[in-house]
Amino acid sequence: MLIKNLVSILIPLYNEERFIGTLLERVLSAPLQEGLSREIVVVDDCSKDQSLQIAQAYEQHYPGLIRVVRHELNQGKGAAIRTALAGAQGEFCVFQDADLEYDPREIASLLQPMLDGDADAVFGSRFASTGVRRVLYFWHTVANQALTLLCNIASNLNLSDMETCYKAFRTELLKTIPLRNNRFGMEPELTIKIAKRKARVYETAISYHGRTYEDGKKIGLKDAFSALWVIVRFAFTKDLHVDSGPETLEALSNAPKFNGWMADTIRPYVGRQVLEIGAGIGNLTTALLTGNQRWITADIAPEHLAKLQEKFGETPNVEIRYCDLMAPATFEPLLGEMDSVVCLNVLEHIEDDMLGLRNIHSSLKPGGHAIVLVPHDNAIYGTLDTALGHYRRYSHEELRQKMEQSGFQVKHILEFNRVSRPAWYLSGRVFKRRAIGTGQMRIFERLVWLMRKVDHHLPWPPTSIIGIGEKQSQPG
């Protein structure tokens, strides 16, 4: 669990005995916004000088504030960042080089767009319109601009300084992105992957006090060619998630025709005061929302809440809220207010589904409806379900019984999406796959028009079922 309002400052360290002490002093004294605290994670990449010993002395002097980790073998900056990130506990993280090229007093500027709720990642640009920078190597600038241009083409961003070593991120997002490159190629790899993950990227001007090679500058021509290869390698990558479950969820979320089919199925039961639980990035919200509804779109993932805010923040009848099926306190402001609760593909992700159903019940007015879609039939439970974090698949009877025990009168159990059941069984039980790729989903999406016509004629059970329950005056 990450610590709210904590900033993790990640420092890769290699042969910087001249600068690391001064750098740590500056990081320790750098001003942060009110309410923020800091931790400093230093990863020594098997330095051959006294860098490690100096960092460890600071660790002893500031216990709990500075942590030092040592690599037994030199692996590169990317590997050091990866190690530091694994130990980061803060809500936000900042990359800080161990030399003095970047000024820690500007960390606050990097953090501000994220604190404002606008950004998921912030790049400190040495070439933006303001900021002081030391004028050095022409060909370095040419190489930087060329690599930034190529990376922008691959990522469809318009950064002015992709290779900047000053970057800040929401830590939860960064921890879910696999970083493969061990050296300076981590910069374009990370840039491309956060773009493909549809993160909100901002730039802010920073100053830059560049070093000469005589001062100890390490990046060179070899690294420029390596970065070029990384851009080519990751331009079309699908390697965007540490875990396979989110890959499947992302593929499903990017299927508007399938989501439209789901929305049309539940639309007759959706009222005017609606709470949507587990809204993700708002695909169902978009499909179902009308101008005369009060719509509360809720999730627990900061990444999703940020995207919901971006998409619906200016929509007058939409409210974005943190709402956790396992936390009754998050439902207390909504007690008895809603006439509809939409909960699609969420209940199976929580261990105590009865608690979740009782929380849904508490937010409804008497006579209000719960619309609960869950995966059907444990006979096809397999590796796909495991990867997605499913505790169970439901039978008709189990869903009906649990909804009734939570105080609902079950009006209907709808069957949805028979057509995908054979593919789900083969993928999860026979081939033991852990993800549905975007390619598979793209084919499925193109055939949704046909599947909607034939689905109810198919002779086998559905992939999902939808319980429509009405709140009674007293729990039954």
Tokens of 45: 């990449």
- Range list for CATH 3.40.50.150 in the chain: 245-471
CATH class of 245-471: alpha beta
CA 330 to mean position of chain CA atoms: 21
Share of the chain above pLDDT 90, in %: 76
Contact 376, 418 (CB under 8 A): no
145 CB-near residues (< 8 Å, 6+ apart) = 127
Contact 384, 436 (CB under 8 A): yes
Whether the pLDDT of residue 238 is over 90: the answer is no
Whether the pLDDT of residue 216 is over 70: the answer is no
pLDDT at 306: 84
Q: What does residue 469 show for φ and ψ, rounded to 5 degrees?
A: -120, 140
What is the rounded average pLDDT of the residues 56-65? 97
Using CA atoms, how far apart are residues 45 and 74, in angstroms rounded to an integer?
Answer: 5
Using CA atoms, how far apart are residues 175 and 444, in angstroms rounded to an integer?
Answer: 30
pLDDT at 475: 47
Partner residues linked to 122 by β-bridges = 168, 202
pLDDT at 476: 44
Q: What does residue 396 show for φ and ψ, rounded to 5 degrees?
A: -55, -45
* Residue that the structure tokens 């300076």 belong to: 184
What is the rounded average pLDDT of the residues 298-304? 89
pLDDT at 246: 65
pLDDT (tens digit per residue) in 307-345: 898 899 889 999 999 999 999 999 999 999 999 999 999
Helix (H/G/I), strand (E/B), else coil: 415: strand
Partner residues linked to 341 by β-bridges = 275, 370
pLDDT (tens digit per residue) in 70-110: 999 999 999 999 999 999 999 999 999 998 989 999 999 99
| pTM, full prediction | 0.79
- Range list for CATH 3.90.550.10 in the chain: 3-240
pLDDT (tens digit per residue) in 98-107: 989 899 999 9
Pairing of strands 66-70, 37-44: parallel
CATH number, domain 3-240, options 3.90.550.10, 3.10.20.30, 1.10.630.10, 3.40.50.10490? 3.90.550.10
